[in-house]
């Protein structure tokens, strides 16, 4: 039984809602509301230690530190997208962050108490009633929800209300310290001018096609020199040598028998995949009566376009597009439409009334005979049969491994393939098995102390692996790396040639030549500091905001080379709704930042002026209890 469980009583029966559906909805919602509370329970912590230290005369309860640490863990886990444990949190220093926050809060609580800052019971009740975490299905405060959420969070009502009173008192103190701060107008204006400024840029992108001649092919001596000079680029990283025994569906699929009658049945069941009737791409324009349809057809014959007829009906072409249809789809119009040539418009009756049909395309029928489809169908059946064979062998493989069988024994006794490969943790190598996430995860984690066990793969295969040894980092032999070396050499030569060409173009333009005579000029009439240019690195925009009007620079980043020209600096708008909104936003952010900095300095001063005592043994005990 859970430690939070209690015996069932008659009082429980009297408190049950009469509407069972509402009761279920309420308690399902309560599970979600626990998160809304923002507090994390510390029900795993127990012991006689009640304090981890003190700030002046005020003690720091162990529960406050434990909650602070759990909240830091939860926040970091959400940030990185995966749940971390307390051990990882300690390694990351989250315990020190939690300790700092709880010491600061305790110092502020002590100062608020000294100044007599507090709120009454009515204010505490009002804060609780307006909290979303304690609302029931009706949207109002729910007393049972309040008790349930606090219990699940590890709070007593008295503890929570005391903590809430302290929180509000700290807010009052913070408001008193930083509430009078406002952003200096000069600072707001300076930030606005910086943020709101725009640039007008021109750019000539360079590729290999802009060179007068491609770089020459490397000689053997040049390749060896490049290899020696960049040996780190051609060095295999440290790896784990992994021995494995594997059985994949593809290894045994071809040996699985297939029944001819079953293949034919599957072919017939999926006949729509193999036999496609003749189809047409059709648009249908429906009219309210035959007279309207005849009048439209007469206009069409007189030279009016089909599109014009559609517009006269108040429609768009997308409204009348039927897509690709078969004879069965067209009903009474089938014969007329299928007899028409591509591009023709024919009049015919539809299920909606008289209509004009335009044929936009003719799709010939296709038929894949059974003999052609048979290999594909047989392969599917054999693969499925192979997966079943492997599934039936998993228990045998587990028993063999549990009995002390070596991986090579599995090859003889379970028909598995035994081999080794070198796996670099965190990487997906070229070996087929490394394409399976389950294999990579196991290979990343395996150590010399681990025994092999059967691991199921996502395609129905099974593998068992064992650590053999660590393979130290080592240079790839030149002959093996030759093509990679050649590619790196060619890229470096191309980058150098493009950079030299860019410098030459820059000098030519600075000498008075027209940029358009040097290549295709991309124009960006106006761009913000945080803007981007398609297919260009962010360095282009960043460089543009460093330049002066008329200045020309060469921008190189990765495979990108360009000549960049700054045409104009466009100042931020001084007036207008956009300018006013941006200035107001900047002022609010600056005010908030200054207020926060002032309050942080105030809190630091309080802590510096107050003796802080911490009990490391108690802190360690809390950390241990949460693991």
* DSSP notation for 459-526: TS-EEEEEEEEEE--EEPPHHHHHHHHHHHHHHHHHHHHHHHHHHHHHHHHHTT--GGGTSPEEEEEE
pLDDT at residue number 10: 37
Percent of the chain with pLDDT over 70: 92
- Residue 145's pLDDT is 86
> What's the whole-number mean pLDDT along residues 127-137?
85
Phi, psi of 343 (to 5 degrees): 95, -10
Domain boundaries, the chain: 10-179+609-625, 198-228+481-570, 238-249+394-472, 278-364
Residue 276 clears pLDDT 90, i.e. is over it? no
- Inform me whether the pLDDT recorded for 137 exceeds 80: no
Question: Burial letters for 363-391: b for 16+ Cβ neighbours within 10 Å, e otherwise?
Answer: eeeeeeeeeebeeebbeebbbebbbebbe
Per the DSSP assignment, residues forming a β-bridge with 346 are: 357
pLDDT band at 36 (very low <50, low <70, confident <90, very high): very low
> 10-179+609-625 has which CATH code?
1.10.4030.10
pLDDT at 16 over 60: no
- The band of 138, judged by pLDDT with boundaries at 50, 70 and 90, is confident
Q: What are phi and psi of 520, to 5 degrees?
A: -75, 125
pLDDT above 60: residue 33: no
Distance CA 55, CA 606 (A): 10
- Are 238-249+394-472 and 278-364 the same fold in CATH? yes
CA separation (Å) from 264 to 267, 383, 395, 488, 599? Answer: 5, 17, 34, 54, 80
The pLDDT assigned to 88 comes to: 87
The Cα–Cα gap between 195 and 189 comes to 10
How far is residue 183's CA from residue 175's CA, in Å, rounded to a whole number?
16
Section 13-17 average pLDDT:
37
Q: Domain 238-249+394-472 adopts which CATH fold?
A: Chitinase A; domain 3 (3.10.50)
In this model, does residue 591 exceed pLDDT 70?
A: yes
Q: Which residues pair with 359 in a beta bridge?
A: 282
Q: Is the pLDDT of residue 22 over 50?
A: no
List the one residue out of 623, 491, 566, 601 whose CA is nearest residue 94.
623
The pLDDT, as a whole number, for residue 48 is 56
The token pair at 60 is 């720091």
- Of the listed ranges 8-22, 170-184, 370-384, the one predicted with least confidence: 8-22
Q: How far is CA 237 from CA 224, 225, 472, 479, in A?
A: 21, 22, 7, 18
Joined tokens for residue 43: 């029900």
- Among 152-161, 223-232, 570-579, 612-621, where is mean pLDDT lowest? 152-161
Closest CA to 210 of 491, 566, 562: 562
Q: Which residue has the tokens 């005849």?
A: 294
Beta bridge partners of 199: 527, 569
372, 273 contact by CB (below 8 A): no
Residues with Cβ < 8 Å from 255, sequence gap 6 or more?
A: none
Residue pLDDT, tens place only, 472-492: 999 999 999 999 999 999 999
Where in 220-311 does DSSP place strands (E)?
Answer: 235-236, 239-247, 275-276, 279-286
- Residue 55 CA to residue 451 CA, distance in Å, equals 52
221-249 mean pLDDT: 96
At 46, the pLDDT band (50, 70, 90 cuts) reads very low
Show the CA angle centred on residue 62, arms to residues 58 and 64, nearest 5°. Answer: 80
pLDDT score for 43: 40
CATH 3.10.50.40 fits 278-364, yes or no: yes
Residue 410's alpha-carbon distances to 164, 397, 413, in angstroms, are 64, 7, 5
3-class SS of residue 321: strand
CA within 13 Å, CB half, 411: 10
User: What is the average pLDDT across 147-154?
Assistant: 84
* Residue whose pair of structure tokens reads 């950079």 in the numeric block: 499
Mean pLDDT of all residues belonging to the chain: 88
List, in order, residues 6 or more apart from 98 with CB less than 8 Å away: 65, 68, 69, 71, 72
Q: Is 539 exposed, middle or buried (0-12, 13-18, 19+ CB in 10 A)?
A: middle
Structure confidence by residue, pLDDT tens digits, 527-552: 999 999 999 999 999 999 999 999 99
Q: Does residue 399 surpass a pLDDT of 70?
A: yes
Residue 489: predicted pLDDT = 96
Mean pLDDT over residues 49-71, rounded?
89
- What's the pLDDT tens digit per position in 337-392? 999 999 999 999 998 999 999 999 999 888 999 999 999 999 999 999 999 999 99
Determine the pLDDT at residue 2: 36
Contact by Cβ (8 Å): 601, 177: no
């Amino acid at each position: 039984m859970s430690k939070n469980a209690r015996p069932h009583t008659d009082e429980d029966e009297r408190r049950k809602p009469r509407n069972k559906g509402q009761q279920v909805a309420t308690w399902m919602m309560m599970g979600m509301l626990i998160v809304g509370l923002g507090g994390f329970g510390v029900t795993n912590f127990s012991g006689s230690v009640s304090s981890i230290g003190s700030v002046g005369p005020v003690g720091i309860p162990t529960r406050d530190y434990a909650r602070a640490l759990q909240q830091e863990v939860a926040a970091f886990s959400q940030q990185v997208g995966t749940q971390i444990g307390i051990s990882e949190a300690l390694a990351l220093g989250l315990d020190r962050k939690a300790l700092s926050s709880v010491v600061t809060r305790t110092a502020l609580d002590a100062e608020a108490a000294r100044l007599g800052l507090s709120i009454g019971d009515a204010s505490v009740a009002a804060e609780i009633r307006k909290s979303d975490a304690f609302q029931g299905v009706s949207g109002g405060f729910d007393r049972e929800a309040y008790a349930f959420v606090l219990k699940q969070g590890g709070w007593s009502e008295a503890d929570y209300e005391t903590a809430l009173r302290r929180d509000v008192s700290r807010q009052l103190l913070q408001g008193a310290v930083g509430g009078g701060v406002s952003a200096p107008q000069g600072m707001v204006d300076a930030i606005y001018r910086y943020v709101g400024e725009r640039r007008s840029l021109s750019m000539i992108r360079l590729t290999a096609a802009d060179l007068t001649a491609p770089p020459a092919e490397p000689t053997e001596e040049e390749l060896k020199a490049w290899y020696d000079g960049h040996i780190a680029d051609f060095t295999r990283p440290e790896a784990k040598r992994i021995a494995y025994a594997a059985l994949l569906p593809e290894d045994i699929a071809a040996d699985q028998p297939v029944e001819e009658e079953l293949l034919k049945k599957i072919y017939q069941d999926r006949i729509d995949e193999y036999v496609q009737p003749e189809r047409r791409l059709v648009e249908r324009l429906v009219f309210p009566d035959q007279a309207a349809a005849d009048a439209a057809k007469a206009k069409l014959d007189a030279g009016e376009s089909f599109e014009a007829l559609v517009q006269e009906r108040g429609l768009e072409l997308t409204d009348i597009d039927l897509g690709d249809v078969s004879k069965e789809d067209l009903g009474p119009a089938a014969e007329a439409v299928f007899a028409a040539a591509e591009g023709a418009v024919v009049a015919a009756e539809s299920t909606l009334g008289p209509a004009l049909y335009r044929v936009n395309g003719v799709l010939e029928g296709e038929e894949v005979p059974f003999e052609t489809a048979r290999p594909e169908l047989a392969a599917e059946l054999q693969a499925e049969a192979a997966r079943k064979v492997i599934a039936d062998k998993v228990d045998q493989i587990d028993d063999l491994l549990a009995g002390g069988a070596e991986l090579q024994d599995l090859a003889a006794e379970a028909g598995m393939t035994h081999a080794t490969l070198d796996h670099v943790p965190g990487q997906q190598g070229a070996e087929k098995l490394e394409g399976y996430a389950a294999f990579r995860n196991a290979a990343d984690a395996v150590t010399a102390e681990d025994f092999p066990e059967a691991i199921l793969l996502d395609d129905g295969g099974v593998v068992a692996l064992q650590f053999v040894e660590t393979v130290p980092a080592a240079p790839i032999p030149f002959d093996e790396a030759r093509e990679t070396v050649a590619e790196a050499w060619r890229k470096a030569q191309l980058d150098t040639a493009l950079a030299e060409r860019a410098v030459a173009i820059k000098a030519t333009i600075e000498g008075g030549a027209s940029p358009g005579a040097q290549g295709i000029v991309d124009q960006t009439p106006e761009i913000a500091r945080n803007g981007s240019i398609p297919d260009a690195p962010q360095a282009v925009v960043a460089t543009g905001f460093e330049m002066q009007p008329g200045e020309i620079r060469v921008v190189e980043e990765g495979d990108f080379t360009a000549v960049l020209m700054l045409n104009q600096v466009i100042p931020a708008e001084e007036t207008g709704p956009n300018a006013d909104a941006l200035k107001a936003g900047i002022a609010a952010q600056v005010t908030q930042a200054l207020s926060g900095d002032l309050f942080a300095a105030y809190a630091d001063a309080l802590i510096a002026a107050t003796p802080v005592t911490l009990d490391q043994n108690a802190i360690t005990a809390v950390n241990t209890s949460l693991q």
